């Protein structure tokens, strides 16, 4: 008696020979053996699809896990080797071969050559590392717990097929020479690496390991996160290849990614205290992974590096004051007091002191003379002092561009009035 698998495997072979797509889908859905070899002709389903140049059927077989390196029982060759041998004369004499064969036979050779090219590219084509990022991973259970992940993503010419067919082997290194720091296999092609310490402190992971009680929601930990041997403060490079471990099929290794330093935990927590942890990747672009890296910058260099980072001027101002506070060993609150205005009962004294200092400032006097004192708080965030305002801008466009960013509420006539006041002030000196 024929088993269900045997019955549908035989039907699959017949459907491939007849080019019946609907029957092929039905057979595969019913558990047909995708590597079936016909008992009479000793030819596999894969061989028929390849030699008949049906790439649509070949794709379906790949998505269902066919062994592309399986050897033919009669010739002992893989399908790639068999196609290579068959097309040897055609390829050896190309383009003369265009005139050596009939139009029908030439068309068949060209279709088989296209199939052979597809197979070789699928099996051997290098994947590409698209990016290496450092996203912040938040814990939904413990809102105060967060850390930086090491995210890598890759792509391939036939990515859609590889996602069904195999897995991804990642190699993490500190240098391109020597042994790998770690090797990780993932079923996803976009992964996040984290340390064992980070994972053990993540309440989401710990709860995902507990058996839920009746009526409780099941917590599933994301399957794209993997524990890796990475240490804060060290540079790492990543490369990958796609593999099918069951059939020992592997693409070539991708090129190494650009080096990226895994940031120190203290730096992440320091940024989090200012609400700026989501910009950690921007600091990585400038090779800044600790507070000390920021402390060596002057204000001009600081603005130049981070003006296009996605942080608005108030956030950059807060960060700058935080850096200065860290150098003076003062608290975050001291930096916040210089940036934010307080108007509740608890902070009345702070506001009063600030207002009295404001009225004595040359910048405030200048703005008062031209009727723009209402914008003092915002303009002080921009330039701090009148001397900086006078020397920072050589033309009206530069000033208006920064004012639009920091004070979008300032009306166009007021922006022009501010520029004219500056011109007049510089002329008097």
Mean pLDDT over 189-209 rounds to 91
- Mean pLDDT in residue range 305-327: 83
pLDDT value for 41:
84
As a whole number, the mean pLDDT across the chain is: 84
For the segment 117-142, the average pLDDT, to the nearest whole number, is 90
Phi, psi of 327 (to 5 degrees): -75, -30
Q: Are 47 and 17 within 8 A, CB to CB?
A: no
Residue 349 has pLDDT above 50, yes or no: no
pLDDT: which is higher, 194 or 41: 194
Q: What is d(CA 61, CA 28) in angstroms, rounded to the nearest whole number?
A: 9
Lowest mean pLDDT among 46-60, 197-211, 236-250, 316-330: 316-330
Predicted local distance difference test score (pLDDT) of residue 15: 95
Per-residue pLDDT reduced to its tens digit, 134-190: 888 888 888 778 888 889 999 999 999 999 999 999 999 988 877 788 999 999 999
357 vs 326, which has greater pLDDT?
A: 326
Question: Could you give the CA distance from residue 381 to residue 376 in angstroms, rounded to a whole number?
Answer: 9
Contacts 24+ apart (CB under 8 A), 179-182: 181/228, 181/229, 181/230, 181/236, 182/228, 182/229, 182/230
pLDDT confidence of residue 219: 80
Residue 345's pLDDT band, with cuts at 50, 70 and 90, is very low
The pLDDT score that the predictor gives to residue 54 is 94
In this prediction, residues 317-332 reach a mean pLDDT of 73
Q: Tell me which long-range contacts 350-355 makes (C-beta under 8 A, separation of at least 24).
A: none
Q: pTM of the full predicted structure?
A: 0.71
Task: Tally the residues of the chain.
Answer: 429
More confident call, 377 vs 395: 395
pLDDT over 90 percentage in the chain: 35
Residue 100 has pLDDT above 90, yes or no: no
Q: According to the model, what pLDDT value does residue 1 have? A: 58
Segment 335-358 shows an average pLDDT of 45
Given a cut of 80, whether residue 245 has pLDDT beyond it is yes
Q: Is the pLDDT of residue 365 over 80?
A: yes
Q: 84 has which bridge partners? A: none
What is the model's pLDDT at position 125?
A: 93
- pLDDT higher than 90, residue 16: yes
User: In which band, very low, low, confident or very high, does the pLDDT at 215 lie, cut at 50, 70 and 90?
Assistant: confident
What share of the chain has pLDDT > 70, as a percent? Answer: 91
Q: How confident is the model at residue 333 (pLDDT cuts 50, 70, 90)?
A: very low
Task: Please determine, for residue 329, whether its predicted confidence score (pLDDT) is greater than 60.
Answer: no
What's the CA dihedral at 417, 421, 423, 428 to 10 degrees? 160
Quote the pLDDT of residue 103. Answer: 85
**Structure confidence by residue, pLDDT tens digits, 48-80:** 999 999 999 999 999 999 999 988 877 788 999
Q: 185 vs 133, which has greater pLDDT?
A: 185
Q: What is the pLDDT of residue 359?
A: 53
Residue 346 — very low, low, confident or very high, per pLDDT cuts 50/70/90?
Answer: very low
354 pLDDT exceeds 50? no
- Work out the average pLDDT over 376-390: 78
Please tell me the distance from the alpha carbon of residue 24 to that of residue 18, in angstroms, as a whole number.
Answer: 10
């Amino acid at each position: 008696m024929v088993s269900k698998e045997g019955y549908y495997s035989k039907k699959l072979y017949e459907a491939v020979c007849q080019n019946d797509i609907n029957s092929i889908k039905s057979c595969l859905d019913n558990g047909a053996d995708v590597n079936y070899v016909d008992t009479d002709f000793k030819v596999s389903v894969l061989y028929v699809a390849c030699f008949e140049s049906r790439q649509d059927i070949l794709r379906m077989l790949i998505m269902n896990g066919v062994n592309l390196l399986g050897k033919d029982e009669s010739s002992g060759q893989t399908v790639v080797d068999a196609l290579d041998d068959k097309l040897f004369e055609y390829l050896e004499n190309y383009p003369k071969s265009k005139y050596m064969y009939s139009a029908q036979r030439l068309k068949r050779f060209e279709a088989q050559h296209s199939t052979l090219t597809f197979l070789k590219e699928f099996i051997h084509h290098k994947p590409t590392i698209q990016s290496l990022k450092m996203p912040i991973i938040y814990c939904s259970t413990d809102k105060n717990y967060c850390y930086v992940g090491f995210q890598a993503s890759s792509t391939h010419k036939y990515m859609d097929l590889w996602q069904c067919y195999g897995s991804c082997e990642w190699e993490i290194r500190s240098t391109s020479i020597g042994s790998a720091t770690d090797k990780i296999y993932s079923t996803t092609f976009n992964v996040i690496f984290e340390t064992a310490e980070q994972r053990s402190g993540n309440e989401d992971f710990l709860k995902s390991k507990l058996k839920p009680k009746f009526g409780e929601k099941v917590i599933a930990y994301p399957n794209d996160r993997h524990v890796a041997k990475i240490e804060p403060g060290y540079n790492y490079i990543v490369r990958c290849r796609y593999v099918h471990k069951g059939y020992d099929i592997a693409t070539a290794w991708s090129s190494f990614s650009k080096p990226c330093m895994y940031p120190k935990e203290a730096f992440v927590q320091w940024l989090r205290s200012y609400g700026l942890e989501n910009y950690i990747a921007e600091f990585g672009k400038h090779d800044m992974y600790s507070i000390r890296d920021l402390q060596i910058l002057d204000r001009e260099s600081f603005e130049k590096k981070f003006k296009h980072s996605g942080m608005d001027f108030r956030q950059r101002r807060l960060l700058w004051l935080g850096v200065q506070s860290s150098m003076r060993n003062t608290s975050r609150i001291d930096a916040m007091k210089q940036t934010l205005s307080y108007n509740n009962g608890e902070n009345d004294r702070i506001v009063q002191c600030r207002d009295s200092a404001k009225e004595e400032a040359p910048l405030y006097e200048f703005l008062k003379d031209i009727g723009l004192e209402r914008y003092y708080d915002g303009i002080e965030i921009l330039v701090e002092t009148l001397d900086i305002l006078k020397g920072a801008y050589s033309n009206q466009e530069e000033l208006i561009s920064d004012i639009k960013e920091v004070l979008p509420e300032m009306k166009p006539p007021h922006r022009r009035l501010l520029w004219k006041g500056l011109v007049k002030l510089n002329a008097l000196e």
